[in-house]
């Protein structure tokens, strides 16, 4: 009893699908008959023409020899790695004052328009450290950069 019911449902479904296909075909033919143009693109709407034109351009751009799931081709060049930023050395400060008295030698430096207080060897101002005071000049250091400033 189950097999005849299944065949009956299958047959009815086929008849319904065939009927829908027939109605859709007749509707298309009816529209072409009303416009007076049959076949081709003569009666197509401008939107459809633009879409067909765009599809034809895209078809020319495709590369069938490329496999998107395979490894890259041998002539593939990897993008260059960005270069590390170039470190710009800081501008050295200016020696403003060199003073020697009974307690030792003191200096004043000027960094970006700001003047330090009186400094001795080992003192720091705005990242600059006085490392030596000699007869030839004042040695200051900031990070890896070391400068010998002329005597004021």
pLDDT tens per residue, range 27-66: 777 765 566 555 555 555 676 667 777 676 666 666 666 6
Which pLDDT value is given to residue 75?
75
Residue 22 belongs to some domain of the structure: yes
Cβ-Cβ contacts under 8 Å for 139 (sequence gap 6 or more): 130, 131, 132, 133, 146, 147, 148, 149
| 39 Rama class: left (phi>0) / alpha (psi -120 to 50) / beta | left
Which pLDDT value is given to residue 25?
79
Range of the domain at 21: 9-61
104 and 57, same domain (yes or no)? no
Residue 68 belongs to some domain of the structure: no
Residue 20 belongs to some domain of the structure: yes
- pTM above the 0.75 mark? no
Residue 98 belongs to some domain of the structure: yes
Half-sphere exposure of 26 (CA within 13 A, CB side): 6
Q: Among 45, 61, 77, where does a domain finish?
A: 61
Cα 120 from Cα 109, distance rounded (Å): 11
Which pLDDT value is given to residue 146?
92
Cβ-Cβ contacts under 8 Å for 124 (sequence gap 6 or more): 130
Q: If you average pLDDT over every residue of the chain, what do you get?
A: 81
Cα 29 from Cα 80, distance rounded (Å): 59
Residue 76 belongs to some domain of the structure: no
Please determine, for residue 9, whether its predicted confidence score (pLDDT) is greater than 60.
yes
Please determine, for residue 141, whether its predicted confidence score (pLDDT) is greater than 90.
yes
Domain count for the chain: 2
Q: Which of 132, 127, 81 is nearest to 105 (CA)?
A: 132
Residue 124 belongs to some domain of the structure: yes
Rounded mean pLDDT, 120-144: 92
Specify the range with the lowest mean pLDDT, choosing from 72-81, 91-100, 105-114: 72-81
Cα 119 from Cα 109, distance rounded (Å): 8
Residue 66 belongs to some domain of the structure: no
């Amino acid at each position: 009893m189950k097999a005849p019911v299944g065949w009956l449902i299958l047959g009815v479904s086929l008849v319904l699908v065939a009927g829908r296909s027939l109605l859709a075909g007749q509707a298309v033919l009816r529209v072409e008959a009303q416009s007076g143009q049959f076949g081709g693109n003569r009666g197509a709407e401008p939107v459809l023409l633009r879409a067909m034109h765009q599809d034809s351009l895209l078809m020319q751009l495709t590369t069938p020899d490329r496999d998107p799931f395979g490894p890259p081709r041998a002539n593939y060049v990897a993008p260059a790695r960005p270069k590390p930023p170039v470190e710009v050395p800081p501008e050295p400060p200016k020696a403003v004052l060199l003073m020697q008295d009974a307690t030792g030698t003191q200096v004043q430096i000027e960094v970006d328009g700001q003047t330090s207080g009186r400094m001795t060897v080992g003192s720091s101002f705005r990242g600059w450290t006085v490392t030596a005071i000699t007869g030839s000049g004042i040695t200051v250091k900031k990070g890896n950069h070391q400068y010998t400033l002329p005597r004021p």
